[in-house]
Amino acid sequence: MCGIVAYVGHQPAREILVEGLKRLEYRGYDSSGIAILNDRPYLTKAVGKVAALEQRVWKDNPEGSVGIAHTRWATHGKPTEPNAHPHVDCTGQIYLVHNGIIENYLPLKKRLMAAGHRFCSETDSEVLAHLVEEAYQGNLEAAVQRALQQVQGTYGIAVIHRAHPQEIMLARRGSPIVLGVGKEESLAASDISALAQHTDQVVYLEDNEVARIGPGRFSITTLENRPVSRGTTLLEIGPESMERGSFPHFMLKEIFEQPEAVENALRGRINHAEGVAKLGGLESVFDRLQQARHLIIVSCGTSYYAGLYGRYVFEALTDLTVETELASEFRYRKLNLRQNTVVLAISQSGETADTLAALREAKRKGALVLGLVNVVGSSIARETHAGVYCHAGIEVGVASTKSFTSQMTILVLMALLVGRGRDLSYEEGMSIIHGLEKVPDDMRAILAQSDQIRKLAEKYCAAQHFLYIGRKYQYPIALEGALKLKEIAYLHAEGYAAGEMKHGPIALIDPAFPTMAIAPEDGSYEKVISNIQEIRAREGHIVAVTSRGNTTLGSLVDDIIEIPRNHEILTPLLSVLPLQLFAYHCAVLRGCDVDKPRNLAKSVTVE
Ligand code: G6P
């Protein structure tokens, strides 16, 4: 969602802060702002993309080497300049940026206003600047601690004060803050992507901690002012992973990175001799995992669809009963977690608020809670009992692509691990392993058809509505294909289980309502063919994704996209690629902002 960057050092802060904001823009971006300390502090804000702010900053060319900046994704109050951060206290001494939601901001605001504080915005965040002002008695760290002790909700904040021109205070509860420590300079951000250009030495702040950074130094305390001793960690992601290279968009780059992302997900994780997966992150809980009877997978968005796929895979390879649940629903259900229940949280960012709340609830109820996460060191990775990293690399495009196939790959590995400990045979295990090892090359063969898929996008992108259908393993892919088209091309798309289509959506079918049918020659093929016939009988146009060399579909559908043949369980890892490419090309043809679709954020850290 919102993004924070802070810099204190010897270089002009303006470039570093603006560049950092641009790297965070993918998280949320309806307005932005920047404050730089100097004899006369500089503050400017702009509505819209960071480019609007950047223009002002270049024009004003502010001096100063200590500053904070923010990109906002509106929650409380519209995207306007007064609502953009940094917020300033009544004295004009304190500048503050905030990610998260202050749940008790109304009573706090009322009390502060009664005490004479003047508010300029409709945001929940502004109370924090006034609380720090109220608590300040010469020690900024103590003021921040005292202010935050009164707050309910979530926050990641950065605060500067004119009387402390060589330091920045940071704090977190629920919204990530990472410190970057360089030579004679320090940075902080809500996301490592804004730091990677400057340093590879980082420190992850934990909940209820306050950090003070100065040029090349940092210290951490708890909210209760107990010192925390923590060293820096080496950042393994290099700055080049944040570059688009020759690709016009990050999303296309990330679609094309999928063969490599699957290779990374598999690397060192297969034991051929025993036909099983090796997942070091699960070793500590392996015994409990072996006793598990029930699995509940919780996640949001694309990660939820990966979870739905995981359900079919776990059911096929293990004897677990499996439920998949949207994290936003799971967290408010009256949970009756049976004994031996494992909860698996899937998240690319590791920061999604609903998924985090769901896993906390499951932990409270005594379940073994596992994570499948891409961002190393993220909240979900840290709060689960054990887990597996995707190692898909930074994903910048808001619409998730390589993380999805990475998650699916690891779900197969997890199911293989559990299944081989039960009644899955060596031969069955090996046939999955052989299939997995073939996936990267199969993906490359599909990516080579990108131009052909662009032609299909040209043919169909004038339609306003699409139906996506698939069965069993391909049902989650129908949902994900439709989601991609909605997210980035702003086209209405319904993802449906092919067999359910006749219970409603078939009423919509006419020559202007095309269907994407995912119909590889697998165990459900004949059934999907019947559904295709039903659409044809209503004059609906059909594009089918099917197995290479299929000889039966040609006469039934308008267009065909072929994918290589692989194990039935693994085919969804392939069938989703043409749908990602189709959505991508439709979005480009329609002039949409592919990497930063309207209203969406990469990391949804509010409920
Ligand atoms: C947002 C993103 C989606 C993502 C979802 C869940 O809505 O735009 O691409 O799938 O959050 O995010 P997570 O980081 O938990 O996978």
DSSP symbols for 564-578: ----TTTTHHHHHHH
What sign results for the dihedral spanned by CA atoms 322, 325, 327, 329?
negative
CA distance 539 to 558: 11
What ligand 1 atom has the least distance to the C-alpha of 352? 15
**DSSP code at position 506:** G
Instruction: Indicate if ligand 1 lies below 6 Å from the C-beta of 298.
Output: no
Nearest by Cα to 199 from 212, 210, 189, 209: 189
Q: How far is the CA of 488 from the centre of ligand 1 (A)?
A: 13
**Cα(246)–Cα(268) distance, rounded to whole angstroms?**
30
Q: Compute the C-alpha angle 172/178/181, nearest 5°.
A: 130
| 159 CA distance to ligand 1 middle (Å) | 28
Whole-number Å distance between alpha carbons of 356 and 53? 32
Residue bearing tokens 């697998």 = 522
Q: Annotated catalytic residue: which of 22, 253, 402, 602?
A: 602
What phi and psi values does residue 206 have, to the nearest 5 degrees? -95, 165
For residue 601, give the ligand 1 atom closest to its CA.
Answer: 8
Any atom of ligand 1 within 6 Å of the Cβ of 341 = no
Please list, in sequence order, all residues whose beta carbon lies within 8 angstroms of the beta carbon of residue 321, skipping any fewer than 6 positions away: 293, 294, 295
Rounded Cα gap, residues 290 and 287, in angstroms: 5
Q: For atom 7 of ligand 1, which residue has the closest CA?
A: 301
**Is position 586 annotated as part of the catalytic site?**
no
Task: Look at residue 339 in the predicted model and tell me its pLDDT.
Answer: 77
Q: Give the angle 389-390-392 at the CA atoms, nearest 5°.
A: 135
pLDDT of residue 188: 98
Assess whether the C-beta atom of 379 lies below 6 angstroms from ligand 1: no
Active-site residue 602, yes or no? yes
For ligand 1, whether the C-beta of 302 sits within 6 Å is yes
Q: What is the pLDDT of residue 607?
A: 74
Query: Would you say 543 and 456 are in contact if contact means Cβ atoms under 8 Å apart?
Result: yes
Q: How far is CA 48 from CA 80, 201, 206, 399, in A?
A: 9, 32, 31, 20
Taking the centre of ligand 1 as the mean of its atom positions, its distance from the CA of residue 348, in whole angstroms, is 7
Query: Does ligand 1 come within 6 angstroms of the Cβ of 301?
Result: yes
Cα dihedral across residues 141, 143, 149, 153: positive or negative: negative
Cα distance between residue 402 and residue 259, in whole Å: 9
- 415 with 428: CB under 8 angstroms? no
Radius of gyration of the chain (CA): 25
Q: Is 303 in the pocket of ligand 1 (CB under 6 A)?
A: yes
**H-run or E-run covering 171:** strand 168-173
Give dist(CA 175, CA 192) in Å, integer.
Answer: 13
Atom of ligand 1 nearest to the CA of 300: 6
The rounded Å distance from CA 403 to ligand 1 centre is: 10
Q: Cβ atoms within 10 A of the Cβ of 59, count?
A: 8
CA of 602 to the centre of ligand 1 (A): 6
Sheet of 465-470, strands arranged across: 492-497, 465-470, 515-518, 542-547, 559-563
Cβ 604 under 6 angstroms from ligand 1: yes
CB atoms within 10 A of CB 128: 30
Q: Is the CB of 405 under 6 A from ligand 1?
A: no
Q: Other CB atoms closer than 10 Å to residue 207's CB: what's the count? A: 17
- Return the ligand 1 atom nearest residue 403 CA: 16
CA distance 269 to 512: 47
**Sheet-wide strand order for 168-173:** 87-88, 94-99, 155-161, 168-173, 209-214, 217-222, 227-228
Report the distance separating Cα 423 and Cα 164, nearest Å: 65
Below-50 pLDDT ranges, the chain: none
Cβ–ligand 1 contact at 400 (below 6 Å): yes
Ligand 1 centre distance from Cα of residue 404 (Å):
10
Cis status, amide bond into 86, omega within 30 of 0 = yes
Residues 408, 262 contacting (CB under 8 angstroms) = no
Give the 3-state secondary structure of residue 206.
coil
**What is the CA(87)–ligand 1 centre distance, in A?**
28
Contact predicate 73/165, CB 8 Å? no
Cβ–Cβ contacts within 10 Å for residue 441, how many?
A: 11
Residue minimizing CA distance to atom 5 of ligand 1: 301
User: For residue 597, how far is its CA from the centre of ligand 1 (angstroms)?
Assistant: 13
Ligand 1 touching residue 401 (CB < 6 A): no
* For the CA of 327, the nearest atom of ligand 1: 15
Residue environment code for 487-501, b if the CB has 16+ CB neighbours within 10 A, otherwise e: bbbebebbbbbbbeb
Cα(427)–Cα(435) distance, integer angstroms: 12
